Amino acid sequence: MPLVIHTIPAFQDNYLWLFHQAGQRAAFVVDPGDAQPVLNCLKEHDLELAGILITHHHPDHTGGIKALVASNDVPVYGPDSANIPQISHRLYEGDCINLADTQFSVLEIPGHTLDHIAFTASPEGETPLVFCGDTLFAAGCGRLFEGSAEQMYQSLQKLSALPDTTRIYCAHEYTLSNLAFATVVEPSNQALQHKLAADEKKRQQGLPTVPTTLAIERETNPFLRCHLAALALAASQHSARELSNPIEVLREIRLWKDTF
């Protein structure tokens, strides 16, 4: 049976993801920053919470854990982080867990925070997917709040090594602002122009722009393109010094985006 994934909007621009096997009531939620939208979704679809997955410690990803576990005695899977005391199952690079008849593998992807992890899966006969929190966004990446540009670059390389068809389930609706920046960095990229037009239509219709796919991100996401000459040129022009190392390019583009 296919894996069913529900999109739960929360706060101003967060997405919480609730998944379960078709025909089964046991459901798992990713990064529940707010408990009430999760409870509403469970009730609407006649599901029972069976577990919680956490990618990192920021409150908009963890704020609902306490209320959810108070009414549901379920495991909480997440990184080995002192900032998330509710974690019952601490996970590390290469660990595997079986949830909703699906095997998920864990990637450690620091940069946005030091404790950040992702959950990736390749269900048999289905499109591969990854829940990547705030590390990789559609046309963007997370701010470097705790980690370094080198850590973020290596984390994005791990995600970029996943299959082209991988669906990217990130945690925020940042796509239009990310694309606006990306088109300034790489104005001649036609794929960017097409994606911007398509995603503007989605938002006008009230639709989410995610999940995206890794193939699309490789064509349109500047933070996955730091090895290319066009990105090095843009970063060099912005910093007024020659940059060629992709880590230095990423650092400069991330700093540029921070003040865009």
Has 227 been annotated as catalytic?
no
Matching residue, tokens 């101003």: 12
The CATH number linked to 100 is 3.60.15.10
Has 194 been annotated as catalytic?
no
Please give the tally of structural domains in the chain: 1
Has 172 been annotated as catalytic?
yes
Write down the pLDDT at residue 141: 98
Has 112 been annotated as catalytic?
yes
Please answer whether residues 75 and 86 qualify as being in contact, where contact means their C-beta atoms are separated by less than 8 angstroms. no
Indicate whether this model's pTM tops 0.95. Answer: yes
Please answer whether residues 258 and 143 qualify as being in contact, where contact means their C-beta atoms are separated by less than 8 angstroms. yes
Q: CA–CA distance from 118 to each of 91, 190, 197 (Å)?
A: 10, 30, 29
Ranges in the chain, pLDDT < 70: none
Has 238 been annotated as catalytic?
no
Q: Which domain holds residue 79?
A: 3-258
Catalytic residue among 20, 34, 57, 60: 60
Please answer whether residues 185 and 192 qualify as being in contact, where contact means their C-beta atoms are separated by less than 8 angstroms. no
Catalytic residue among 20, 57, 116, 172: 172
